[in-house]
A and B are shown apart, each in its own frame.
Chain A
């Protein structure tokens, strides 16, 4: 790795440690798999253990790379995260999960559409709402019906005969 003088990179260290924690989770879950003696030869837990081991080794290598200055491209490191945009998109996703069960697909999707469009800098929520509900209806009646996908119908869909 070039630049041995570079200071350890914090974000990459976090990624490496996160991968290590994940390897731990996989190991714990592999431990939980009951193995019947019938299949003692190559049981269902052999590959899970191998995966946990592989992930642990790779996570340690990531931590080591982070300690030597990290790997993130300079351009990527310098772009400041647009937290506001992210927050709006995440809010849209959460609203979708929360609403889809009782309001139905179209209504939930419209709310998500407006929030996500706002996150991407749109300043016309009413127009976005109109476009969003049109997209959702086309998606519902065109795409989902054509594919034979059954998606929970809400009030709007039932009114329109979905």
Chain B
């Protein structure tokens, strides 16, 4: 029961007035940016990274985690009322949630999503509490070779398995590697990819990349698509309370969603898309009223995916805190916040920084309670936030983007770089390249390189070290399966279809 006493210590830290205030600021800000289309937690945390120079790490991470959890709650409000997912993880919520809103049941949809988020977020946080120490005891055995292989596996799953196309996901990832290598190589002192520009010797700041891709790129994308027409906000009608029937149709999907979301989020593959889609699919199969799916909107189709989404958000924190392995853009930016404090997330984090880790975990429980209050009785405020006109919203986003970027070194080079990356982000959005792998590649690429070189130094230049150690070999094999598996399966399925159909068809 050492975990519980550690958690109690964590609550003692998280319940101090200052930390409670940081948590409140984080959850409020997180909900707001989750509600606003075009803003996400990765961008917001990136813009707030300079705070790491001013406040102590525990406060900063309580703030960041509040933003992260808050955005998951806020995103569902936008999905339900506007049909434009505020967050990629709430795409599925929009499917049924918006239909429910259109048929006058917006209140019930918002309620089941907020309460479901609370239930699943709390289950997920309990999961972190008990899983993190276990993963740590396992990860302590990892050497550089295992770490490198683990990262290769994460690269494969994050970019190839999660996106719609392995080729595009990997292209994004490799672009991120390139960005991550710009600057002075820490082991030899050689400048790389600086094109002779002295400002680039320090490397490209992750703030510039995140803000360029997520804020400037998104603004250009939305501006260019003005011909596409707009979604209407469904007015909030009906009571926010769920009927007995709605409760009884919601609680099982919440638990099933949490059971799907947390483990999948905690895998080094990460991501909220797979568990939310899986949950939607399962609830559609299990529902007693399948005719409501795709017509008037089924409450199970909101409750399940929303729970899965929040539980997986909690799950993503497990590999981040225990292995230093971020599997989402937000987690990657949090990792860079750790780096700016000179803290290395990884198995030693729990030993070296118990106050930080357990304070953070305890604050996640508190954040969930705050978010339930913020998102249910106070949902009216967020509906008003949703009504900010697009011209003012996007112009404002660019003002904050300027602060975040120009503030780094007061150099126009950073602004030019920001806009170039914005142009890249625009093309990536328009041509369906995922952007998260860029951030992950940029943060994780240099760490993978470092572990690779260490492993090669230890093995005295023997390349086979990665295949000879069973753990490392297994991880690499999993990476190959992740890359090639879906393709082989598709070929197999296509062949079976062709055999089943008449010859010459397909």
Contact = CB atoms under 8 A, between A and B. Distances in A.
Interface of A: 11-12, 15, 19, 22, 26, 29-30, 33-36, 39, 41-45, 47-48, 51, 54-55, 58-59, 61-62, 65, 71-73, 76, 79-83, 85-86, 88-90, 92-93, 96-97, 100-101, 105, 108-109, 112-114, 116-122, 128, 131-132, 135-136, 139-140, 143-144, 147-152
Interface residues of B, number: 65
Contact of B391 (A100, A122, A150): A122
A162 B238 CA distance: 48
B170 interface: yes
A93 B422 contact: yes
A11 B431 CA distance: 9
Given A44-B190, A109-B399, 6 more contacts: A11-B431, A29-B192, A42-B456, A76-B432, A105-B406, A139-B400
Contact of B227 (A15, A26, A80, A116): A80
B403 A149 contact: yes
Contacts of B422: 93
B50 to A, nearest CB: 5
Contacts of A89: 219-220, 223, 394
B227 A79 contact: yes
Contacts of A88: 223
Interface of B: 48, 50-51, 53-54, 165, 167-168, 170-171, 174-175, 177-178, 181, 185, 187-188, 190-193, 195, 216, 219-220, 222-228, 389-392, 394-396, 398-400, 402-404, 406-407, 410, 412, 415-416, 419, 422, 427, 430-432, 445, 449, 452-453, 456-457, 461
B402 A116 contact: no
A151 B406 contact: yes
Contacts of B187: 39, 44
Contacts of A96: 398, 402, 415
Contacts of B177: 47, 51, 54
Contact of A47 (B181, B416, B427): B181
30 contacts: A36-B188, A43-B188, A44-B185, A47-B177, A51-B178, A54-B174, A58-B167, A58-B170, A58-B171, A73-B432, A76-B432, A79-B225, A80-B227, A86-B220, A86-B223, A92-B398, A93-B216, A96-B398, A112-B398, A113-B395, A113-B399, A117-B394, A120-B390, A120-B394, A128-B391, A128-B395, A139-B399, A139-B403, A143-B403, A148-B50
B49 to A, nearest CB: 9
A82 B453 contact: no
Contacts of B192: 29-30, 33, 44-45, 48
Nearest to A72: B431
A62 B167 contact: yes
A136 B396 CA distance: 8
B226 A135 contact: no
B402 A112 contact: yes
B171 to A, nearest CB: 5
A47 B410 CA distance: 31
B431 A19 contact: no
10 pairs of A and B residues whose beta carbons are closest in the complex: A149-B407, A120-B391, A117-B391, A122-B391, A116-B395, A44-B185, A85-B223, A113-B395, A82-B226, A117-B395
B395 A97 contact: no
B431 A147 contact: no
A45 to B, nearest CB: 8
A138 to B, nearest CB: 9
A139 to B, nearest CB: 5
B415 A62 contact: no
Contacts of B456: 41-42
B389 to A, nearest CB: 8
A35 B238 CA distance: 69
Given A33-B190, A100-B415, A120 B406 contact: no
A112 B395 contact: yes
Contacts of B48: 147
Given A59-B171, A139-B399, A120 B226 contact: yes
B195 A29 contact: yes
A35 B191 CA distance: 10
**Which of B389, B402, B415 has its CB near the most chain A CB atoms (within 10 A)?**
B402
B223 A105 contact: no
A101 B412 contact: yes
A93 B398 contact: yes
A117 B171 CA distance: 33
B427 A109 contact: no
Contact of A144 (B391, B407, B430): B407
A55 B171 contact: yes
Contacts of B419: 93, 97
Nearest to B184: A44
B188 A41 contact: no
Contacts of A30: 192-193
**Which of B53, B193, B395, B403 has its CB near the most chain A CB atoms (within 10 A)?**
B395
A93 B402 CA distance: 9
A82 B427 contact: no
A45 B188 CA distance: 11
A65 B171 CA distance: 14
B395 A140 contact: no
A10 to B, nearest CB: 12
Contacts of B453: 42
B79 to A, nearest CB: 18
